[in-house]
A and B are shown apart, each in its own frame.
Chain A
């Protein structure tokens, strides 16, 4: 409890998370109907995999149907723009699946017809190169994750205003033996959410994986932030996949302009 300037006593938020006693009391007061609602919500929140072209769901996991040796994941607009312009514009990529999910934060209640601006994930497979989504079993798979974070999330002894962003940091699992393309993320910095979930899975199940994290002070799609990922092009995972860098830069510039027009607040 804490007293505010005006003298009223308020409950201070606890760093350790939500008050579990309230959760316990909620559970005790729950009726069968409440439990059914909760079960239905949990089912609605399950991630579904399907093929957009046929609108059918995938019966087996994606990696079982398309075992691969290189699995690259881009999370967030700048990471996705980098992958689209530099990697996926070299060679022919075929869409093999799509994941959609719904949770209470989605602005739509429709879990069936999610629009492209909603939480979305599309899986592509390189048609011409069998080593990417090829026939190698999961044991030889290497995972690369690309994502961005705001520079204020980065903890350092100097003030964050003195940092030259954007800059790249890496985190790798024990089985990833290659040298990273940038320096490793120093303690006490940590990563949460989907990139952390992927890396945790890979660390526990001994899959070589690396996360390239770009700290930037721009949250929307930005040329300089996307450019900060360029050192990753020299990594073993992406080296063979990128053919024409000048063409990629042009494609990236076009992506930026399209995006800028769409973000006009008057439309």
Chain B
């Protein structure tokens, strides 16, 4: 359930709701971290749930000593009213069999808050790509039927690749085709819930492998930015535009502590 930080429940009517799926390479979560950190979004509440493994730590977006001591938990909601953006960040994995109840509760809340649309940032195993997918861009999108026509048209004008259907049972030759997102975590569940609950939803994902997924996260936010224009691109040079995204202070030591000098 959503619990606001302050005394009153913020009005999210007409806002765009951004959220990650906990997926391969944690790309969606890294992308949301970049968005919250770059836009300096404010924490407005918690999504208190028993569906995620509990976890706490100090402010992952701290920029100075003063703001480094605010406690953060596993599911928090941030907003930027000037751009009508609200972002949910998930910081731990789902407890077995709890992912579907979570998606149902979350989307119920989003729907009752009258958000304009939901954008899910996710990823999928790159080794599952077929030959055609190997030769094309690694980014894909999916839309629920209830997305506003203006948004659908805008996305179509960007010439993006829609996520292809693949055989439901790959081992059987004449199997039916359906949307499969291996390694996507709750992405498929969210998409299915979105369709059945008539929620305007866009899924943006990238085919990735586990490793240093920071470049993948940067790629995904750039992909999102092509459409939403969250930050104005400064020029056409892709390396320069990547530098506009601010990495949060919590991204230090992603691969563990320093090495003992005696090792060398």
Q: Which A residues contact B (CB, under 8 angstroms)?
A: 1, 12, 14-21, 23-24, 27, 38, 154-162, 171-174, 184-197, 199-200, 203-205, 211
Query: Is the beta-carbon distance between B253 and A155 smaller than 8 angstroms?
Result: yes
CB within 8 Å for A21 and B56 given contacts A15-B25, A187-B62, A204-B73: no
Report if B251 contacts A (CB, 8 A): yes
Q: How far is the CA of A158 from the CA of B180 in the complex (A)?
A: 43
Query: Is the beta-carbon distance between A157 and B26 smaller than 8 angstroms?
Result: no
Chain A min CB distance to B142 (Å): 16
> In the assembled complex, which residues on chain B have CB atoms less than 8 Å from the CB atom of A16?
22-26, 93, 183, 185
State which of A173, A187, A194, A204 has its C-beta within 8 Å of the C-beta of B3. A204
State which of A187, A204, A205 has its C-beta within 8 Å of the C-beta of B58. A187
In the assembled complex, 19 residue pairs joining A and B whose CB atoms fall closer than 8 Å, in A order, are A12-B210, A14-B183, A16-B24, A16-B183, A17-B93, A20-B184, A20-B189, A21-B188, A23-B96, A24-B189, A155-B256, A160-B257, A184-B69, A187-B59, A188-B60, A188-B252, A200-B73, A203-B56, A204-B48
Q: How far is the CA of A27 from the CA of B73 in the complex (A)?
A: 29
Closest residue of chain A to B1, judged by CB? A204
Secondary structure type dominating chain B contacts: loop
Q: How far is the CA of A111 from the CA of B54 in the complex (A)?
A: 25
Q: How far is the CA of A200 from the CA of B3 in the complex (A)?
A: 12
Closest residue of chain B to A162, judged by CB? B260
CB within 8 Å for A199 and B71 given contacts A16-B24, A17-B22: yes
State which of B68, B91, B180, B210 has its C-beta within 8 Å of the C-beta of A14. B210
> In the assembled complex, which residues on chain A have CB atoms less than 8 Å from the CB atom of B74?
196, 200
Report if B186 contacts A (CB, 8 A): yes
> Which among A161, A171, A190, A211 has the highest number of chain B CB atoms within 10 Å?
A190
Q: Which B residues contact A (CB, under 8 angstroms)?
A: 3, 22-26, 46, 48, 53-60, 62, 68-71, 73-74, 91-94, 96-97, 99-100, 127, 180-186, 188-189, 210, 249-254, 256-262
Q: How far is the CA of A173 from the CA of B5 in the complex (A)?
A: 12
Query: Is the beta-carbon distance between A185 and B97 smaller than 8 angstroms?
Result: no
Q: How far is the CA of A195 from the CA of B57 in the complex (A)?
A: 11
State which of B56, B60, B254 has its C-beta within 8 Å of the C-beta of A200. B56
> In the assembled complex, which residues on chain B have CB atoms less than 8 Å from the CB atom of A173?
71
Q: How far is the CA of A195 from the CA of B186 in the complex (A)?
A: 27
Query: Is the beta-carbon distance between B55 and A192 smaller than 8 angstroms?
Result: yes
Query: Is the beta-carbon distance between B54 and A197 smaller than 8 angstroms?
Result: yes
Query: Is the beta-carbon distance between A187 and B68 smaller than 8 angstroms?
Result: yes
Query: Is the beta-carbon distance between A187 and B57 smaller than 8 angstroms?
Result: yes
Query: Is the beta-carbon distance between A174 and B180 smaller than 8 angstroms?
Result: no
> In the assembled complex, which residues on chain B have CB atoms less than 8 Å from the CB atom of A157?
252-253, 257-258
Q: How far is the CA of A64 from the CA of B54 in the complex (A)?
A: 24
Chain B min CB distance to A202 (Å): 9
Q: How far is the CA of A17 from the CA of B52 in the complex (A)?
A: 11
> In the assembled complex, which residues on chain A have CB atoms less than 8 Å from the CB atom of B94?
17-18, 20
Chain B min CB distance to A208 (Å): 11
Q: How far is the CA of A190 from the CA of B23 in the complex (A)?
A: 20
State which of B54, B96, B189 has its C-beta within 8 Å of the C-beta of A193. B54
Q: How far is the CA of A24 from the CA of B178 in the complex (A)?
A: 14
> In the assembled complex, which residues on chain A have CB atoms less than 8 Å from the CB atom of B99?
20, 23
Q: How far is the CA of A204 from the CA of B46 in the complex (A)?
A: 7
> Which among A21, A27, A187, A192 has the highest number of chain B CB atoms within 10 Å?
A187
State which of A21, A174, A185 has its C-beta within 8 Å of the C-beta of B57. A185
> In the assembled complex, which residues on chain B have CB atoms less than 8 Å from the CB atom of A196?
54-56, 73-74
Chain A min CB distance to B189 (Å): 7
State which of A38, A158, A171 has its C-beta within 8 Å of the C-beta of B71. A171
